Amino acid sequence: MKVLFIGGTGTISTACTRLAAERGIELYLLNRGQRQVEIPNGVQVLRGDIGDREGVKELLGGHFFDAVVDWIAFDVAAIERDIELFRERTAQYVFISSASAYQKPIGHYLITESTPLVNPHWEYSRKKIACEERLMCEHRESGFPITIIRPSHTYAPTSLPTAVGGGANMVQRIRSGKKVIVHGDGESLWVLTHNSDFARAFTGVLGHPKAIGNAYHITGDEVLTWNQIYGCIGRAAGAEPELIHIPSDFIDRFDPRTGAGLLGDKACSVVFDNTKIKQLVPDYVATVPFARGVEECIAWLDADESRKEIDPAKEEMMERIIAAYERALE
């Protein structure tokens, strides 16, 4: 099988690149080569910018792919470009959407692929919804062979999953005894997916004829509260986190970018029904519990002092939010 990844070196796609290579897929990566990521043996890199249509056409030449995956399409303009570029060059076009596109506020805690796509809180999600709608329209009208994948908060050893603040900031705050912001009361339900688990399901979708015209979310099956998530991070970091619970809409007033991701995604309790992807890929089982996955994240951070550098802007913002909330409680 011959597959093209547009991107292929990000948090989610790196694991998919690695597993695809291990499984003997003839894999090509089309990217600008700006990330320092080890490319597996046998993977061929086409160095270019997907935004340069004519340059990409020249790079692609006479290639035809069993599947093309765009990991970095975030708006309808990118979809229009891809339809033009790959209409005659692939038997399957895979769009990476987002499970954050599902209905907010949620109508039911259990999410299936038929859950409505409505998110008034987060522009990122609305753009992904618009992309899905454009692709489904093209599939109906011309037969363009689409498959839609909706990941949800997928992490890697190199990307500690948090809701407020960055990974390095979070670990530093925990280890130094500073207060750690948890949105709401910390009891909302959440699902975290290790990128290696995602990859096992995802590679089963590639080239699968029954996936054409369908959408699938791919997530883990472990459900945790945010209090439990931060507890796991603390245990892996070797210190008990001092949690301060702050309403999401209060956080949004000080940091609208983080607030949108909370109100439009992480503040909502969700549990995903993965029946559909498991029917398509019967051997898919998520095997990495967060307690083990977070140990990998902490080990990666601790292996290089440069990785522990905190983001001063994020740190200042968290201190401002905490101070303002504590004043409001006086």
Q: What is the pLDDT of residue 202?
A: 98
| Total domains present in the chain | 2
Query: Are 26 and 136 within one domain?
Result: yes
Which range, of 49-53, 83-87, 90-94, averages the lowest pLDDT?
A: 49-53
Structural domain for 324, as ranges = 155-191+221-271+288-329
Q: Alpha-carbon distance 155 to 11, whole Å?
A: 7
Query: Are 169 and 121 within one domain?
Result: no
Q: Alpha-carbon distance 233 to 291, whole Å?
A: 8
Does pLDDT of 294 surpass 90?
Answer: yes
- Over the stretch 232-274, which tens digit does the pLDDT of each residue have? 999 999 999 999 999 999 999 999 999 999 999 999 999 999 9
CA-closest candidate to residue 73, choices 114, 26, 132: 132
CA-closest candidate to residue 105, choices 256, 283, 269: 269
Query: Are 107 and 241 within one domain?
Result: no
pLDDT classification of 166: cutoffs 50, 70, 90: confident
Query: Are 311 and 267 within one domain?
Result: yes
Q: What is the pLDDT of residue 214?
A: 98
Contacts of 132 (CB under 8 A, 6+ apart): 95, 97, 101, 117, 148, 215
The gap from C-alpha 63 to its chain's centroid, in whole angstroms, comes to 29
Q: Give me the CATH number covering residue 168.
A: 3.90.25.10
Taking the CA of residue 208 as centre, how many other CA atoms within 13 Å lie in the half-sphere pointing to its CB? 20
pLDDT classification of 13: cutoffs 50, 70, 90: very high
Query: Are 137 and 51 within one domain?
Result: yes
In a domain, 147, yes or no: yes
Structure tokens at 254: 């000080």
- Over the stretch 218-235, which tens digit does the pLDDT of each residue have? 999 999 999 999 999 999
Query: Are 179 and 201 within one domain?
Result: no
What average pLDDT is seen over the chain? 96
Question: Which of 218, 235, 263 finishes a domain?
Answer: 218
Query: Are 96 and 239 within one domain?
Result: no
In a domain, 239, yes or no: yes
Q: What is the pLDDT of residue 16?
A: 97
Query: Are 105 and 181 within one domain?
Result: no
Q: Alpha-carbon distance 152 to 163, whole Å?
A: 13
Q: What is the pLDDT of residue 36?
A: 76
Query: Are 126 and 146 within one domain?
Result: yes
Q: Is the peptide bond before 105 cis (omega within 30 degrees of 0)?
A: yes
Q: Higher-confidence residue: 330 or 206?
A: 206
Query: Are 89 and 170 within one domain?
Result: no
In a domain, 283, yes or no: no
Q: Alpha-carbon distance 37 to 76, whole Å?
A: 28
Query: Are 47 and 58 within one domain?
Result: yes
Q: What is the pLDDT of residue 107?
A: 87
Do the beta carbons of residue 280 and residue 205 sit within 8 Å? yes
Q: Enumerate the β-bridge partners of residue 155.
A: 194
Structure tokens at 141: 């009208």
In a domain, 236, yes or no: yes
Q: Enumerate the β-bridge partners of residue 47.
A: 31
Q: Give me the CATH number covering residue 26.
A: 3.40.50.720
- Over the stretch 24-61, which tens digit does the pLDDT of each residue have? 999 999 998 777 788 999 999 999 999 898 999 999 99
Q: What is the pLDDT of residue 38?
A: 84
Mean pLDDT of 7-31: 95
Percentage of the chain exceeding pLDDT 70: 100
Does pLDDT of 206 surpass 80?
Answer: yes
In a domain, 279, yes or no: no
Query: Are 114 and 148 within one domain?
Result: yes
Q: What is the pLDDT of residue 34?
A: 73
CA-closest candidate to residue 277, choices 288, 286, 268: 286
